Amino acid sequence: MRYAVWFGVCMAALVTLLIPAAAQTLESYAAALVRPPLEDQFGFDAPRWLRHDGPGYDRGWDGDGPERRRGSEIGPDFIVYNCLGERRPLEFAVARLRPFGTLKLVGSGPACTLVAPLRLEKPIRVSGDKDATLLGPPGGPCLIVPPGGSLAIAEVRLRSWSDGDTPCIAAEGADVSLERMAIQTRGTALTAKGGRLSLREVHLSGGPAPVLRLQHAEFAIIKASVESYGDGAEIIPPAEGIAQIGQAEFNALGRRGVGLVLHAEGPPGARVVLDDIKIEDFVAGLKVGPGTRSVATHLHVGHAGEVGVEAAGSGLDLSNSVIQADDVGVRLTGYLPGAPGDAPRILDNEINARGPGIAVEDGTPGEARNNSIGVRPGRCIVGVSRFGDFRERENLCHPP
């Protein structure tokens, strides 16, 4: 009897200890992993339960690894998947993984070649090891993230055979975080409609369709590289929230597109912040359309075939930047009296062009001051606006 009482007391204590641990399950880490605030740095320092030595780790997921139960859900928190030698399909591993769990891809091989788009019905995280590569199916997306979903990927290479506008990653109303990885495609690498997007140390290549296409999604793009045979990125800013690109490069593989396009749908949305961005060898470097608001500093547009920066009825603050174009350095056009939006301000830039340094259409508000403009005589600022201040004497005009 004494041993029975002692055993009961020990079991009660054990249950008491386990209940708080069970309560502090994946949801307590969700905000840090797949729903982080975009203004913070995105890291992949996993909590213990996501590491190889943590609870829930399944060594080979052959049925004998540890699992955790919460309600009716059961499955491992961590699965290692060998792309070369695994016999079971990747979809099976994703289905078995718990929500907010981690799928670690190792190497490249037939097991990581999709025959159909992989639709992620639950929030997961994907990491890679030993040059992990995931090949998309022919003619379709690699990964589909439905509304309300969450996806975080790090150190994995995605390759897609999709053409045209079909993206490798398609997300709608979801949170997507990509770090230290690459996406190679013959069309669009990523589309995001609504939701939130974080790209950090990511390389994207594709085209001629825009390699990156965002529609009303909050975004933070830091240390990204984009290569395109057409447009680099097409962005419709969100109505509010974070919209930022910093320390990024856009490079043209063929002179057919625009490096970065911003345009609006409806009333002006969030102000897009562009800082320390290089745009090289496109027909046009930056185009901002009617209704958009943006701030661009330390922008470098090199060897633009036609126009370096074009603002059409948009609020653009361009400062401390270098613009080089074969035709027009900065073009300001499409402004209507009384239209919503901010006036353009072109301040403290270095502009070099074969044609006009700044071309202004009548009706344009705003100003151009303290710019160093290297052009042929008489081509410094072309056009006069009754609603703005674009006088040559407010700028330094000199031969190229």
pLDDT for the residue numbered 396: 96
Tokens of 124: 């997961």
Please tell me the predicted confidence (pLDDT) of residue 130.
Answer: 86
How much is the pLDDT for 175?
A: 97
In this prediction the pTM is: 0.81
Q: Are 45 and 32 in contact (CB under 8 A)?
A: no
How crowded is residue 195: how many other Cβ atoms within 10 Å of its Cβ? 23
Cα–Cα distance measured from residue 329 to residue 335, given in angstroms and rounded to the nearest whole number:
18
3-state SS of the chain?
CHHHHHHHHHHHHHHHHHHHHHHCCCHHHHHHHCCCCCCCCCCCCCCHHHCCCCCCEECCCCCCCCCEEECCEEECCEEEEECCCCCCCHHHHHHHCCCCCEEEEECCCHHHECCCCEECCCCEEEEEECCCEEECCCCCCCEEECCCCEEEEECCEEEEEEEEEEEEEEEECCEEEEEEEEEEEEEEEEEEECCEEEEEEEEEEECCCCCEEEECCEEEEEEEEEEECCCCEEEECCCCCCEEEEEEEEEECCCCCEEEEECCCCCCCCCEEEEEEEEECCCEEEEECCCCEEEEEEEEEEEECCEEEEEECCEEEEECCEEEECCEEEEEECCCCCCCCCCCEEECCEEEECCCCEEECCCCCEEEECCEEECCCCCCEECCCCCEECCHHHCEEECC
Return the amino acid letter for 159: R
Asked whether 272 and 262 are in contact (CB, 8 A), the reply is yes
Bridge partner residues of 220 (DSSP):
198, 244
Position 74 scores a pLDDT of 67
Q: How many residues does the chain have?
A: 400
Nearest-angstrom CA–CA distance, 15 and 4: 17
Q: Which amino acid is at 348?
A: D
β-pairing, 73-75 vs 68-70, is antiparallel
| Per-residue confidence (pLDDT) for residue 42, from 0 to 100 | 31
Note the pLDDT of residue 118.
Answer: 95
| Residue 359 amino acid letter | A
Per-residue pLDDT of the chain in tens (400 residues, 90 and over written 9): 444 444 454 444 443 433 333 332 222 223 333 333 333 333 334 333 233 333 333 444 443 344 444 444 567 999 999 999 899 999 999 999 999 999 999 999 999 999 999 999 999 999 999 899 999 998 789 999 999 999 999 999 999 987 778 899 999 999 999 999 999 999 899 999 999 999 999 999 998 999 999 999 999 999 999 999 999 999 999 999 999 999 999 999 987 899 999 998 878 889 999 999 999 999 999 999 998 999 999 999 999 999 999 999 999 999 999 999 999 999 999 988 777 678 999 999 999 999 999 999 999 999 999 999 999 888 999 998 888 999 999 999 999 8
